[in-house]
């Protein structure tokens, strides 16, 4: 199979997966959730900047959880279809990337339309300026989908036991969204007498959710709410080099589980 045939097969399988997922009740509910959250935030605040702040926690907590759970559920529920596709002369990496993109595209569409449509409904005349305010949320939301769908497929490929797979997905979400921050704060308080600027930056880079939070707070001018740590993050990440570090780190967080998933998928005996 040459490169053109691989791309055609990738497109066909991805398109089928996307059509299958886009009409899923979970994707519809996902869209409704973000549409309602965005609409309610704009209704109460009447300011896009305040609405974006209100939506920040929803994006940082719900997107990783939904990506992990829906990704693992989809893989386990479609194992017969995956085995059927494997019977055709198609390279396994092509199938895996197709599954990944078939999950990513519908979830990203549900997320984007849910966030953007209320902005358009409230004030179509200033849509571009309002959209710019929401842009940090949108960028981090897309990255979080990429990262945690990669993790979801990796978990599902490694573990044939569904309960274990769901348990690992929830554990990863709890670890990165709740437990990690608690350990972070304990470490900062325990060693408050020492210079911890670079230590806190390194710890933040090691967590994609924290890194996403930093990117949003810097672009929405919320660093004052984070005190001294926020000032450190602003000085380090607000310039071009800092932005490159953020996006490079987030990209690495996408590629590592994605390539590990492809490697295990190639070796997996179905």
Among 53-67, 107-121, 172-186, 234-248, the minimum mean pLDDT is found in: 234-248
How large a percentage of the chain has pLDDT more than 90? 35
pLDDT in tens, 228-252: 445 556 566 666 777 788 889 999 9
pTM of the model: 0.89
- pLDDT at residue 187 is higher than 80: no
Other beta carbons within 10 angstroms of residue 178's beta carbon come to 11
The residue behind tokens 């596709």 is 85
**Helix (H), strand (E), coil (C) string for 97-140:** HHHHHHHHHHHHHHHHHHHHHHHHHHCCCCHHHHHHHHHHHHHH
How large a percentage of the chain has pLDDT more than 70? 85
Q: How many CA atoms lie within 13 A of 143 on its CB side?
A: 24
- List Cα–Cα distances, 96 to 68, 90, 106, in angstroms: 16, 11, 16
The Cα–Cα gap between 264 and 244 comes to 30
107: CB partners within 8 A, 6+ apart: 21, 27, 30, 66, 67, 70, 145, 149
- pLDDT at residue 211 is higher than 50: yes
Question: What is the H or E stretch that residue 148 is in?
Answer: helix 127-158
- pLDDT at residue 33 is higher than 90: yes
pLDDT in tens, 159-184: 888 889 999 999 999 999 888 878 87
Q: How many CA atoms lie within 13 A of 234 on its CB side?
A: 15
Kindly report each contact of residues 240-246 with a partner whose C-beta sits within 8 Å and lies 24 or more positions away, as own/partner: 245/205, 246/211, 246/214, 246/215
Question: What is the H or E stretch that residue 146 is in?
Answer: helix 127-158
């Amino acid at each position: 199979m040459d490169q053109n045939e691989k791309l055609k097969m990738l497109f066909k399988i991805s398109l089928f997966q996307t059509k299958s997922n886009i009409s899923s009740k979970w994707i519809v509910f996902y869209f409704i959730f973000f549409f309602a959250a965005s609409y309610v935030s704009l209704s109460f605040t009447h300011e896009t900047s305040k609405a974006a702040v209100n939506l920040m926690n929803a994006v940082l907590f719900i997107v990783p959880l939904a990506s992990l759970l829906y990704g693992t559920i989809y893989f386990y529920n479609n194992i017969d279809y995956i085995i059927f596709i494997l019977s055709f002369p198609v390279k396994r990496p092509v199938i895996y990337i197709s599954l990944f993109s078939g999950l990513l595209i519908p979830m990203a569409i549900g997320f984007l339309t849910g966030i953007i449509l209320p902005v358009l409904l409230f004030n179509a005349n200033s849509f571009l300026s309002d959209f710019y305010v929401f842009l940090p949320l949108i960028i981090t939301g897309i990255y979080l989908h990429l990262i945690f769908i990669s993790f979801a497929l990796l978990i599902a490929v490694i573990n044939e036991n569904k309960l274990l797979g769901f348990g690992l997905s929830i554990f990863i979400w709890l670890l990165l969204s709740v437990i990690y921050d608690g350990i972070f704060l304990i470490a900062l308080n325990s060693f408050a007498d020492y210079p911890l600027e670079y230590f806190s930056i390194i710890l933040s880079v090691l967590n994609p959710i924290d890194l996403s939070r930093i990117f949003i707070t810097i672009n929405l001018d919320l660093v004052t709410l984070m005190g001294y740590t926020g000032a450190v993050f602003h000085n380090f990440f607000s310039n071009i080099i800092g932005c490159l570090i953020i996006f490079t780190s987030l990209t690495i967080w996408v590629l590592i589980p994605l390539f590990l998933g492809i490697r295990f998928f190639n070796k997996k005996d179905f």
